[in-house]
Amino acid sequence: MNLSLTEEQVMIQDMARKFAETELAPVAAELDETQNQTIFLENLAKLTELGFMGLNIKAEYGGVEAGTVAFSLAITEIARACASTAVTTSVTNMVAEVIQAIGSEEHKQTYLPKLCSGEYQAGAFCLTESGAGSDPAGMKTTAELDGDEYVLNGNKLYITSASFAGIYVVWAVTDTSAPKGKGISCFLVEANTPGITVSKAEEKMGQKASPTNEVSFTNCRIPKSALMGGENKGFAVAVGELAGGRIGIGSLALGIGLAAMDYARDYLTERKQFNQSLSSFQGLQWKLADRYTELEAARLLLMQAAYTKEQGLPFGKEASMAKLFAAEKANIACYDALQMMGGAGYIKEYPLERFARDVRVTSIYEGTSEIQKVIISRALLKEVS
């Protein structure tokens, strides 16, 4: 098996790393503290100019056709510097991929160039509701056909980038009499459509610069042509696209974990206790060895999932394994890195407390770690049924 990256993949990884180091890292702490949307959106615009909002989108629609492996590499490098920027980049790519996968040719020609060019600052993925998080089939938002229009009513929670996204991918029940999960459809809804209300950004523990909002639809009328993938066939689409999103979030978690461990490793070589460098203590050396080994394993799982997806093969189990392992091990890495720095790790002067806050949600969104275990175990049992 050849694990070497292609020339294009290396180029994209290097470009993402350099951008993260020069543009994102210097302002990450300020964004965490102030949530300055001007700086945040300026950096997103620069990433868009470099092609990072359409990494797996065909060139004819304005993308760069770099593939899923390149996408994973890029998200990891961006997350090393700013998790808020990384999650917005990941979700926007996911929205673009949904449109490319199931949208009509008109949808693709109309909306993908706007996402890839930055005319739309981001895309939003509207699936979660108050009673439909880990169980999205239980959603209550409805879309009722009225002549040549659908009328949307309902509320979506925890929507990344909702306050400045140009386009929403929205799931709603179109057949209330169908069995649970069978009557759901997927729609493209422009952000300026009357009947949409976006709440103020939630006050979050981490990833603070990336706004997370509630989106309400009240008698929101959209054209019949906004339907994607066929009526009552949206749930399977959601499940499939979430699998791709898990590669992005796993890659994000890996980036935060690596940033935390790299910072702590440097600190250990500089800090002295008992007249010797902290790096000379075996207990700390073993923590380094364990955490870096686990993060490398996470990287390989992510590459396997990304490569499998890129080949057009079923990748749901692989994506869940990668996301589960990367998120859990990155959480441990951040907390161990903070512990290795002692009291300094707990002080805002250093980035460890931010890394620890930013990484925590990676084991929750795009499917909790517990849900990933359900998905993995079901896939394993199906293989022998």
pLDDT of 53 > 80? The answer is yes
Give the Cα separation of 131 and 157 in Å (integer). 10
Question: Please, where in the chain does CATH 2.40.110.10 lie?
Answer: 124-232
**Residue 276: predicted pLDDT:** 85
Stretch(es) of the chain classified as CATH 1.20.140.10:
235-382
- The pLDDT assigned to 209 comes to 97
Name the residue among 381, 304, 368, 355 with its Cα closest to residue 2: 304
Look at domain 235-382 and name its CATH class: mainly alpha
Q: What single-letter DSSP state applies at residue 201?
A: P
pLDDT tens digits along 320-371: 999 999 999 999 999 999 999 999 999 999 999 999 999 999 999 999 999 9
Q: How many alpha carbons lie under 13 Å from residue 296 in its C-beta half-sphere?
A: 6
What's residue 128's pLDDT? Answer: 94
The answer to whether residue 272 scores a pLDDT higher than 70 is: yes
Do β-strands 123-126 and 167-173 pair in parallel, antiparallel, or remain unpaired? parallel
The values of phi and psi at residue 299, to 5°, are: -60, -45
Is the confidence at residue 192, as pLDDT, over 70? yes
DSSP string, 45-111: HHHHHTTTT-TTS-GGGT-----HHHHHHHHHHHHHH-HHHHHHHHHHHHHHHHHHHHS-HHHHHHH
**CA–CA gap between residue 201 and residue 164 (Å, rounded):** 11
Confidence of residue 247 (pLDDT cuts 50, 70, 90): very high
Distance CA 185, CA 176 (A): 11
Q: For residue 217, give every residue at least 6 positions away whose Cβ sits within 8 Å of its Cβ, in sequence order, or none.
A: 141, 152, 153, 154, 155, 156, 170, 172, 189, 195, 196
- CATH 1.10.540.10 domain extents, the chain: 7-122
What's domain 7-122's superfamily in CATH? Acyl-CoA dehydrogenase/oxidase, N-terminal domain (1.10.540.10)
Type of residue found at 173: V
Report the CATH architecture of 124-232.
Answer: Beta Barrel (2.40)
pLDDT score, position 78: 98
- CA-to-CA separations, 28 to 123, 207, 345, in angstroms, rounded: 22, 10, 17
Both tokens of 222, joined, read 């959209």
Q: How confident is the model at residue 282 (pLDDT cuts 50, 70, 90)?
A: confident
93-130 residue pLDDT tens: 999 999 999 999 999 999 999 999 999 999 999 999 99
Q: Contact, 66 vs 8, CB < 8 A?
A: yes
- The predicted pLDDT at position 270 comes to 84
26 has pLDDT over 90: yes
Q: Is 310 a catalytic residue?
A: no
At residue 279, the pLDDT reads: 81
Q: Could you say which of 106, 366, 370, 383 is catalytic?
A: 366
Question: Which of the four pLDDT bands, split at 50, 70 and 90, describes residue 1?
Answer: low
**In 3-state terms, what secondary structure has residue 209?**
coil
Question: What pLDDT does residue 240 have?
Answer: 82
Q: 234, 236, 235, 383: which is closest to 317 by C-alpha?
A: 383
Q: DSSP secondary-structure letter at 311?
A: T
Whole-number average pLDDT of the chain: 95
User: pLDDT tens digits for 125-138?
Assistant: 999 999 888 888 89
Radius of gyration in angstroms for the set of CA atoms belonging to the chain, rounded to a whole number? 21
